């Protein structure tokens, strides 16, 4: 069962990526009936964004985009997540891009020792100076584990927001690309990394059982589940800004989510990076909504 009544937080920030369409993620899934399909009765909470301040200019000191605006947005989202958890609700945060994790994980850090299950096709582990874009969506996992400029890694003196040994990365398929561009190697850390290829080799049931065993074997107060839509197969979800061949089927993603949620170890979930502007007939948005409805059928 979930830890509390599910509550949707609409957080369509694109400060860590670009205003190319991911800001429409939450609106699109809600129009497809997500709240009704999940049986959510609480009103949707709209977290104010600072998307109007978006700039493509990299900050010369940090090599990142929109640092001050992202700090301010993260503080607002941190408060919203904290309020939700204080009311013993289960936050379902609809992005936006992956940089929303800064506000989420710093909120959890204020509460205690929490972990992160990170479903993503990309490692998101670039150092700012190695990123070709300066987008925090290139480096969000590095930032929440304390790697990067303190303006983002140590907000309110809370960093690192999550310890390496409490992070599980599922579904990576950009390792060749990260080597080519000189990213720091996520596998040189204590982060558990289970790539897409390994998932295919071991099978989704074995992988998920191992994740559950790891979650239950730590002293963490709980785990956040991050679901980046580009972890899905490019064949079923090409509506993302950075495409890669391969990826999980809906059934595989649903298996992971549907097994983790009832464990009582998941404090909340975020969904990011699906870009409705690239989904011309809206069928991908409907498919993702249908898939989430199946995954939440506890």
Tell me how far apart the alpha carbons of residues 109 and 78 are, in angstroms, rounded to a whole number: 10
The pLDDT of residue 290 is above 90: yes
Provide the whole-model pTM. 0.98
Of 42, 31, 32, 52, whose CA–CA distance to 9 is shortest?
A: 42
Tell me how far apart the alpha carbons of residues 143 and 55 are, in angstroms, rounded to a whole number: 20
Q: Which two tokens stand for residue 96?
A: 């936006």
Q: What class, spelled out in words, does domain 5-295 have in CATH?
A: alpha beta
The pLDDT of residue 224 is above 80: yes
Give percent above pLDDT 70 in the chain. Answer: 100
Summarised one tens digit per residue, pLDDT across range 74-98 is: 999 999 999 999 999 999 999 999 9
Summarised one tens digit per residue, pLDDT across range 231-272 is: 999 999 999 999 999 999 999 999 999 999 999 999 999 999
The pLDDT of residue 26 is above 70: yes
What pLDDT is attached to residue 298? 60
Confidence of residue 1 (pLDDT cuts 50, 70, 90): confident
**Partner residues linked to 223 by β-bridges:** 115, 266
Of 270, 190, 195, 264, whose CA–CA distance to 226 is shortest?
A: 270
Summarised one tens digit per residue, pLDDT across range 31-87 is: 999 999 999 999 999 999 999 999 999 999 999 999 999 999 999 999 999 999 999
Summarised one tens digit per residue, pLDDT across range 174-209 is: 999 999 999 999 999 999 999 999 999 999 999 999
Q: Which two tokens stand for residue 292?
A: 């989430």
Q: What is the mean pLDDT of the chain?
A: 97
Tell me how far apart the alpha carbons of residues 189 and 123 are, in angstroms, rounded to a whole number: 12
* CB distance 170 to 231 below 8 Å: yes
Tell me how far apart the alpha carbons of residues 71 and 141 are, in angstroms, rounded to a whole number: 16
* CB distance 147 to 138 below 8 Å: no
For the segment 125-153, the average pLDDT, to the nearest whole number, is 97
The H or E element containing residue 90 is strand 89-94
């Amino acid at each position: 069962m979930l830890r509390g009544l599910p509550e949707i937080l609409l957080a369509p920030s694109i400060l860590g990526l670009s205003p190319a369409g991911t800001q429409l993620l939450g609106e699109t899934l809600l129009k497809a009936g997500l709240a009704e399909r999940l049986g959510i009765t609480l009103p949707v909470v709209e977290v104010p964004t600072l998307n109007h301040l978006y700039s493509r200019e990299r900050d010369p000191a940090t090599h990142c985009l929109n640092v001050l605006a992202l700090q301010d947005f993260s503080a607002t989202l941190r408060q919203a997540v904290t309020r939700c958890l204080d009311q013993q609700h289960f936050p379902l945060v609809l992005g936006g891009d992956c940089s929303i994790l800064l506000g989420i994980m710093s909120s959890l850090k204020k509460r205690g020792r929490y972990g992160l299950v990170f479903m993503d096709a990309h490692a998101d582990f670039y150092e700012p100076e190695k990123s070709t874009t300066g987008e925090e969506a290139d480096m969000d996992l590095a930032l929440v584990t304390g790697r990067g400029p303190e303006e983002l890694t140590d907000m309110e003196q809370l960093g690192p927001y999550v310890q390496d040994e409490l992070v599980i990365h599922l579904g990576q398929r950009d390792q060749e690309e990260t080597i080519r561009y000189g990213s720091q190697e996520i596998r040189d850390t204590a982060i558990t990394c289970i790539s897409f290829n390994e998932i295919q080799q071991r099978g989704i049931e074995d992988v998920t059982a191992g994740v559950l065993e790891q979650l239950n074997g730590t002293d963490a107060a709980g785990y956040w589940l991050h679901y980046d839509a580009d972890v899905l197969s490019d064949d079923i979800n090409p509506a993302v800004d950075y495409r890669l061949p391969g990826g999980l089927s809906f059934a595989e993603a649903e298996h992971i989510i549907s097994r983790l949620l009832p464990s009582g170890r998941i404090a909340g979930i975020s969904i990011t990076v699906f870009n409705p502007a690239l989904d011309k007939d809206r069928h991908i948005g409907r498919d993702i909504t249908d898939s989430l409805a199946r995954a939440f059928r506890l």
